[in-house]
Structure 1
Amino acid sequence: MARWIDLDTPAGPVQAWRADPTGVPLGGVVVIQEIFGVNAHIRDIAERFARAGYVALAPALFDPVEREVELGYDQSASARGVELRNAVGFDRASEIVGAAAQLLQHEGLRTGAVGFCWGGSLAFLANTRHGLPAVSYYGARTLPFLGEPARAPIMFHFGRHDGSIPPEAIEQHRQALPHAPIYVYDAGHGFSCDLRADYDVDSAALAWTRTLAFLADSLK
């Protein structure tokens, strides 16, 4: 079952898309949006995690500045998403992610975070600031935060042809986090999203398999 719920956070009340498994949960996952809001893609990711056995919660990070944001992937939508991302900021978004994790933890669930694009960088902060096992998909804005020490296991997925994350940036991740698994796929930015031009079915499937294995190990 999937539905919108209300979530109290330090940034004020926000909505979150919650998806529950049919059986006893394996754990909880905070699904962290791209700059396009909790749109159909992010809701689908949450529901996929639920089918895999996890309670998934995707907080609407833009709610403190604009509610019910659901953008597509064209140029104008990207520009609007950047405006909203900048208006919310990393610190406020990270507080919302932390509140989502606390809700799941208060239900007795071992909880991790998985984020995409902007959310990929926020997944890193979910690890360093909230102690969550985390998976970061093509987080292009993580470099300024690499000095923050990891507090739990973390995994990274990058596309080899992602212009926003050049090879030297990936290498900086390797140097800062030598024990973290860092996977590079023959794909571009957003390769895991089937609504994007850079969607790559094989890379997306492999990254998903690795993500589920990571969560199974980290949250057991």
Structure 2
Amino acid sequence: METNAKWIDIETSDGTFGAYLSLPRGGKGPGIVLLQEIFGVNQHIRNVADQYAADGYVVLAPDLFWRQRARIELGYDGEEWKQAYALMQATDFAKAQQDVGATAKALRGLVGEARIASIGYCFGGRLSYHTAANGLVDAAIAYYGGGIQNALERAPEIKVPLLMHFGAADSHIPLAAVKSIAERFDSNEQVEIHVYDGAEHGFNCNHRGSYHQRAAAEAHGHSLIFLSENL
């Protein structure tokens, strides 16, 4: 997979943080703000960024835990999972949204007149939902966004196309939560929801035991179609 990737700095009033930038071979295209899981901008998230760059997108993945520890990369089990969860719990979600806003602004500077979307996973999936509600992007995708069901009061604020992916066997997001989300957006034709049979939380991540190849492939296909229609 031939990509041109590097870390860049994004300046905010709170300080400067890093973001992983992956460019398509041609160097230009629509933009994607890629929002991490609780494990940092680790190898998997960088791989996802490179995959979307290979698909023709300019991808920027911000380090959302920089205030606690810059560029932390964690695994998915044992003590590292506990550390990742603690980092998420200690994160100021309002400040994380500000950081996504700064990232979106930087990305728009890179892509010019092209449109941009956000794509997030787990913690990043919830953030992608709020990014849509904040009007920062032209479209948004949320993979197993835990907590979206607790933020449905923001549903009227979402004016852009939104795609959500959930696993039917997700032990962190019960199907009742997915149903409540689906019911809330039932009258919004711009919102699309897919639920994948047999898929656990984190089904897109091939570094995790919960990886579900078929669900990941189908979700990526749905995401590419969604992006092509909306960017």
- Which TM-score band (shorter chain)? over 0.9
Cα separation, 1, equivalents of 2:27 and 2:105: 19
Residue equivalent to 2:163: 155
1:11 and 1:182, CA in 2 relative to 1: closer, same or farther beyond 3 A? Answer: farther
After TM superposition, the runs of 4+ consecutive aligned structure 1 residues lying more than 2 A away are 9-12
Within a 5 Å distance, the mapping from 1:40-51 to structure 2 comes to 40-51=43-54
- TM-score, with normalisation over the residues of structure 1? 0.96
After TM superposition, give the deviation of residue 53 of structure 1 in Å.
Answer: 0.4
Q: Provide Cα deviations, 1:141-162, integer angstroms capped at 9, x if missing partner.
A: 2122211121210000000000
- Which runs of 5 or more residues in structure 1 are unaligned? none
Is 1:208 aligned with 2:213? no
Residue equivalent to 1:129: 134
Within a 5 Å distance, the mapping from 1:62-81 to structure 2 comes to 62-81=65-84
SS in 1 for 2:12: coil
| Contact residue 157 and residue 207 of structure 1 kept, 8 A | yes
The AA in structure 1 aligned to 2:176 is E
Which residue of the other structure, out of 175, 184, 187, is the alignment partner of 1:176? 184
1:209 and 1:14, CA in 2 relative to 1: closer, same or farther beyond 3 A? Answer: same
- When the two chains are superposed, the root-mean-square deviation of aligned CA atoms in Å is 1.2
Is 1:192 aligned with 2:195? no
| Contact residue 10 and residue 95 of structure 1 kept, 8 A | no
Q: Provide Cα deviations, 1:108-161, integer angstroms capped at 9, x if missing partner.
A: 131100000100000001100134211000011212221112121000000000
1:190 and 1:10, CA in 2 relative to 1: closer, same or farther beyond 3 A? Answer: farther
- TM-score, with normalisation over the residues of structure 2? 0.91
Within a 5 Å distance, the mapping from 1:89-100 to structure 2 comes to 89-100=92-103
SS in 2 for 1:147: helix
SS in 2 for 1:92: helix
After TM superposition, give the deviation of residue 24 of structure 1 in Å.
Answer: 5.5
Cα separation, 2, equivalents of 1:38 and 1:157: 20
Q: Quick one: percent identity of the two aligned structures?
A: 38
